[in-house]
A and B are shown apart, each in its own frame.
Chain A
Amino acid sequence: MSAQQALVASVPRARPAARRGWLKEALTGWAFSAPFLLIFLAFLALPILASAILSFTDFSLGNLVDPFSAHFIGLGNYARLLHDPNFLQAALTTTIFVVFGTVLNLAVGLAAAVALNRGISRFRAVFRVGYYLPVVSSIVAIAVIWRFLFNTDFGLVNGLLHTFGIAGPDWLGNPTLAVGIIVALMVWRNFGNAMIIFLAGLQGIPNDLYEAARIDGANRWQEFRSITLPMLKPTTLLLTVVTTIGFLQVFEEPFVMTQGGPLNKTRPISMYVYQQGFNFFHQGYASAMAYTLFVVIAAVTLIQFRLLRSDT
């Protein structure tokens, strides 16, 4: 018998013991994952499924007592969305938040990362922590403080403007300014994330490239354009995907700062979903909206991943 044959022959004999071991291992595994799985099924999978079904019904307040009295109305909720001026306004607001928020978030994050990586060496850790701090703070606390900063009468911003003889505007009372402030808050709060990931990307760029460029007589800007930016492309695309998804679901910032006003110009889709679902109890309609948002997020992500894959 060759060694191989001996091994094959020994397998059947070994199997019962192995199976018993496997079973025990599997049971242990399931036992450990059961608490999570049960919670996941009960509080995530089931609700997701149920809200998918709800989105095809006219479920609203009256159905709370008797859920099965809701009627299936097919794509009625989805059709209604297209004619709801409030939804269209919310979609526009969300788009503004996502486009401006994402671009600024990446730009500021990159600038901070480059500055930390090359320029500032002495207090690098201090700055890194400082820029990252807003990311880990409570968004509600931050938004409340920002609201006070931009208070028309007593706010710090208008107070400073006043010392220069400028009459400060009604920041959160003016729709355009309010949108701008919320974008600024979103960027200020989140760019630390982008910065950290950009920093990691920057540290992965081999120094040889910069040395070679310097020998060729490139200046800082040329180095940045021709080496740093191209080498950071995968990082940038990853961050774009993550930030876009995050900003598409933005809720807390406008909720605390403006409650969607003035003139509903700062109300994103997620807040409108919430109002329809839990202020007015149109849960069928709200589910349809939530699913529309989900499809948009999935589509945007898919497109971005395509870009990510083809370009790198």
Chain B
Amino acid sequence: MPTIYSVADYAYETRLERASDRDPGPFELRLPTTRRYLAKMKPFGHAFRVVPLLALALVSAACGNNPTTGASVNGPVTLQVWANGDEGDKLAASQAMASFKSQNPNFTVQITPLPWTTAHDKLITSIAGRATPDVAMIGTTWMGELTKLNAVTTLPSSVNKSDFFAGGMDTASANGTAYGLPWYVETRVIYYRKDLADKAGVSSSPATWDDLMTMAQKLKAGGSKYGINLQTNDWQEFIPLIWSAGGDIMKNGKFTLDSPEAVKALTFYSDFFKKGLTRSSQPQGFDLIQAFVAGDDPMFISGPWMAGLISKAGLDQSKWAVAPMPKGDKSATSFVGGSDWVVFKNSKNQDAAWKFVQFMTSKDTQISWYKELKDLPSRQDAWGDPALTADPNLKVFGAQLKDAHSPPNIPQWEEVAKAIDDWQEKASLNKATPADAAKGMQQQATQIIGG
């Protein structure tokens, strides 16, 4: 029965529990692509909540706004910057900001740190209320919405897009136009227990899909509870398989989720569940790191933030390793996430704002930022720095980044993702054949974008 409780309590509790979720630790909430989780945390179930937003929009519409031309970057400039998560918290006092200020004494940068849990809502509300900052850091799946709302400026032509990883650049683009710059990137690779694999008679990391399946089987036969850890409903784990099989999510504005490649990917993915090689459900609060350290779940697919957590949990570096995604019919593609910078159309200082963004995404800043927070640089040339080349795990991530895609930047992506999740779950739990599930995804996704 609904009772009155404090919204703050709710947000706090949910955040706590989310922080201990699948990818636990401080980096969990940095995952921009977990927006759908964040969105789920909003406490009200009533559509009535729409209206304050609407009222806000009306009021601010009445007040009017004045999109302006770029101000001179030479005079004194004040920039409003919204940044999220750990990065937002640390930005103001960082080495990078210090050198930006010394190079640009005429700039005053006001940084507003936002938690990932509220950043998306606040940004959308600020657009509705025409109270956007000059610059904001965004999650990699938000660009479709922002361009649909006509809120962000296009990338100046002076920026050389090929300096950046293509996968990262894609997340900052929509409909083939770049609107932002990737700040840091992350991609998913395979983590596995080397010691257990050796014991089970697997001497090398899995090169192909078949290898991955065999390895999971051998690990399970070798005494682990499961062979690998996969989620019944996580599009981020599933869609890279479609790319690897040679398929695509969208082609020429139409979904291709029921292509033979997609069916093949779904068959492969759901086989792990049918063969009992992975858990049939992951209760909330399930601690993957503990299960990995204990050897119950000796393999999983995740991003760079897990390496530190495994070490912190006390597992010796010699007992585990990372490996690139295994090759499907066509490629060994992974998922790319991270975060991007955008400049808003309402900004009065667009030129200055882009200057700031270009500084934040420059080679030197990215290297200092890696040293500070272990964020992976989105620029290819930054990876040659000794700070990065020294870490053997990073080589795997660096190589994987060259073959990593992001989902199409359409405004309805979150909804499509939920549909993919739903059907993926049906296939994993054997409630639908992979072919039917693929058809279901395709149909629902097409309906969502109104095709």
Q: How far is the CA of A64 from the CA of B128 in the complex (A)?
A: 5
**Interface hits, A270-309 → B, CB 8 Å:** 270-271, 273-275, 277-281, 283, 286-287, 289-290
Task: Given the known inter-chain contacts A140-B5, A249-B45, A259-B40, please indicate yes or no for A62 contacting B149, CB distance below 8 A.
Answer: yes
Residues of A with C-beta under 8 A to B57: 64-65, 67
B2 close to A140 (CB less than 8 A): no
B280 close to A173 (CB less than 8 A): yes
B61 close to A66 (CB less than 8 A): yes
Residue of A nearest to B10 (CB): A140
Interface residue A170 (Cβ < 8 Å from any Cβ of B): yes
Residue of B nearest to A277 (CB): B47
Task: Given the known inter-chain contacts A65-B150, A153-B286, A264-B422, please indicate yes or no for A290 contacting B431, CB distance below 8 A.
Answer: no
B1 close to A271 (CB less than 8 A): no
B42 close to A278 (CB less than 8 A): yes
A71 to chain B, nearest CB (A): 13
Q: How far is the CA of A51 from the CA of B422 in the complex (A)?
A: 28
Task: Given the known inter-chain contacts A140-B9, A263-B426, please indicate yes or no for A54 contacting B1, CB distance below 8 A.
Answer: no
Residues of A with C-beta under 8 A to B1: 186, 189-190, 193, 243, 246-247, 249-250
Residues of A with C-beta under 8 A to B50: 47, 50-51, 54, 59, 277, 283, 286-287
Residues 110-146 of chain A, each 1 if its beta carbon lies under 8 Å from chain B, else 0: 0000000000000000000000000000111100100
B396 to chain A, nearest CB (A): 30
B9 close to A65 (CB less than 8 A): no
Q: How far is the CA of A58 from the CA of B285 in the complex (A)?
A: 38
Q: How far is the CA of A256 from the CA of B145 in the complex (A)?
A: 27
Interface residue A108 (Cβ < 8 Å from any Cβ of B): no
Task: Given the known inter-chain contacts A144-B17, A246-B1, please indicate yes or no for A138 contacting B9, CB distance below 8 A.
Answer: yes
Interface residues on chain A, number (Cβ under 8 Å): 65
Interface residue B318 (Cβ < 8 Å from any Cβ of A): no
Residues of B with C-beta under 8 A to A67: 54, 57-58, 61
Residues 255-294 of chain B, each 1 if its beta carbon lies under 8 Å from chain A, else 0: 0000000000000000000000000111111100000000
Interface residue B403 (Cβ < 8 Å from any Cβ of A): no
Contacting residue for B47 out of A252, A261, A283, CB 8 A: A283
Hey, which bits of chain B sit against chain A, CB under 8 A?
1-3, 5, 9-10, 13-14, 17, 36, 39-40, 42, 44-55, 57-58, 61, 124, 127-128, 130, 145, 148-151, 232-233, 280-286, 411-412, 414-415, 418, 422, 425-426, 429, 431
Please give 15 more A-B residue pairs, beta carbons under 8 A apart, in addition to A138-B9, A152-B283. Answer: A47-B50, A51-B50, A55-B47, A61-B148, A65-B57, A140-B13, A152-B281, A153-B286, A170-B280, A249-B1, A250-B1, A274-B42, A278-B49, A279-B39, A286-B47
Hey, which bits of chain A sit against chain B, CB under 8 A?
43-44, 46-48, 50-51, 54-55, 59, 61-62, 64-67, 138-141, 144, 147-148, 150-153, 155, 170, 172-174, 186, 189-190, 193, 243, 246-247, 249-252, 255-256, 259, 261-264, 270-271, 273-275, 277-281, 283, 286-287, 289-290
Query: What are 5 pairs between A and B in contact, CB < 8 Å?
Result: A64-B149, A65-B149, A173-B281, A193-B1, A252-B2
